[in-house]
Amino acid sequence: MTIVTAIGLPIATDVVDVVALGESMVTFLPSRPGRLADVPSFDRAIGGAESNVVCMLAAAGHSTRWVGRVGADGFGDHLVESIGAYGVDVESVRRDPGRPTGIYFRTAGDRATDAHEVAYYRAGSAASAMAVGNTDLDAVRAGRVLHLSGITAALSEDCLDLVRELTAPGAGRPLVSFDVNHRPGLWRDAEGPRVLLELARGADIVFVGDDEAREAWGLHGARAIRQALPEPGIVVVKQGGHGATVLGRDTGGARRDATEAATFEPALNVDVVAAVGAGDAFAAGFLSATLRRLPVRDRLRHGHLMAAAALTAPGDLATPPARDHADRLAALDDTAWGTLRLGPGWTEADTRAEEEVRTP
């Protein structure tokens, strides 16, 4: 039996918590700072907006599944094995014998700077061939939450048709979480912003950065974004290092109208190692707290804590804090939350302290 909560979140014991569909790639991280032309070697890792979310959710104790398409090559093997090692179900990942697994290289610097470089090798990738007819839609829909992003929609016309199919209303549709992830360089024409707005309006939970809303839609501020997205139950506007705002029917039972209540929560003070993956981590923290039916403030705080874990690690993925550790931090009063500062290794500090207490 499936029960539906006020925001449409199904409760069932025979489904996974979160399913994500999208492209994952093998990433190559530089061994030292500098231009790509000057870096002598790279360390191999994995990355992908949607798989990042379910990997962090799995590490935080949730049941998850990733559905994607990779090449029948060594890089595809590495992706499937690495994502599966997080505890993510990868049984529905398809292998494509005629197309390669996508890869990319990046520099060590913050991508917000002019010196940052990323070299993608994803054109014609196996993931770009995902389509309604070659994807296990039953596996995709068999979760309490289905997490998607605008990146998948930009990969090909078939991928866009697939995302449209999954965001279309229908009986038995899971709660759809959609991260706008506006990537202008991926779109084949100028229709990207319009398509992203269409897809976001079909979702139940939407994550969007205020900067990308300005760039894609010319919108300024959380209220303007909400007015452009009246259909989703929850809209989460990420405001970078400033914080994040939630507007929606689930912000304390307020009716959704022009005076709808907004919940803002400031971001944490973080000693940043690398800015990549923070948005995906924030979505994972927010969804984790949503699955646990925590108050909206705590959902935002868990998002910030997961983002802090990613910001203080070098790759796209990081070890999240233990749940009880995160719960204690999320329960801090406003003053303590505002003065909290987190640096590299903070997610493991609680575990190390417990081990030291147990060591005679």
Q: What angle do CA 196, 181, 303 make, to 5 degrees?
A: 125
- Summarised one tens digit per residue, pLDDT across range 55-110 is 999 999 999 999 999 999 999 999 999 999 999 999 999 999 999 999 999 887 65
Residues 266-299 as b/e (b if ≥16 CB within 10 A, e otherwise) read: bbbebeebbbbbbbbbbbbbbbbbbbeebebbbb
pLDDT in tens, 278-299: 899 999 999 999 999 999 999 9
280: annotated active-site residue: yes
If one counts every other C-beta atom within 10 angstroms of the C-beta of residue 161, the result is 15
pLDDT at 112 over 70: no
**Residue with the two structure tokens 């923070």:** 278
Dump pLDDT digits (tens) for 235-273. Answer: 999 998 899 999 987 544 334 444 467 999 999 999 988
Give pLDDT, residue 185.
86
Check whether 142 has a pLDDT greater than 50: yes
Work out the burial of residue 236: count CB atoms within 10 Å of its CB; fewer than 13 is exposed, 13-18 middle, 19 or more buried: buried
Structural tokens at position 188: 């084949």
User: Which residue among 179, 280, 298, 316 is the active-site one?
Assistant: 280
Predicted confidence (pLDDT) per residue in 316-340, tens digit: 788 899 999 999 999 999 999 999 9
Contacts of range 111-118, beta carbons closer than 8 Å, 24 or more positions apart: 111/275, 111/276, 112/275, 115/35, 117/35, 117/36
User: Residue 359 pLDDT more than 80?
Assistant: no
Spatial neighbors of 64 by CB under 8 A, at least 6 apart, are: 16, 17, 18, 19, 20, 54, 55, 57, 58, 87, 88, 89
Q: In sequence order, which residues have a C-beta less than 8 Å from that of residue 251 and are 6 or more positions away?
A: 234, 260, 261, 262, 263, 296
Which range has the worst mean pLDDT, 30-34, 68-72, 172-176, 251-255? 251-255
Give the Cα separation of 290 and 303 in Å (integer): 10
Over residues 177-228, the pLDDT tens digits come to 999 999 988 888 889 999 999 999 999 999 999 999 999 999 999 999 999 9
CA dist., res. 238 & res. 59, Å (int): 23
Annotate the chain with three-state secondary structure. Answer: CCEECCCCCEECCCCEEEEEECCCEEEEEECCCCCCCCCCCEEEEEECHHHHHHHHHHHCCCCEEEECEEECCHHHHHHHHHHHHCCCECCCCEEECCCCCCEEEECCCCCCCCCCCEEEECCCCHHHHCCHHHCCHHHHHCEEEEEEEHHHHHHCHHHHHHHHHHHCCCCCCCEEEEECCCCHHHCCCCCHHHHHHHHHHCCCEEEEEHHHHHHHHCCCCHHHHHHHCCCCCEEEEECCCCEEEEEECCCCCCCCCCCCCEEEEECCEECCCCCCCHHHHHHHHHHHHHHCCCCHHHHHHHHHHHHHHHHCCCCCCCCCCCHHHHHHHHCCCHHHHHHCEECCCHHHHHHHHHHHHHCC
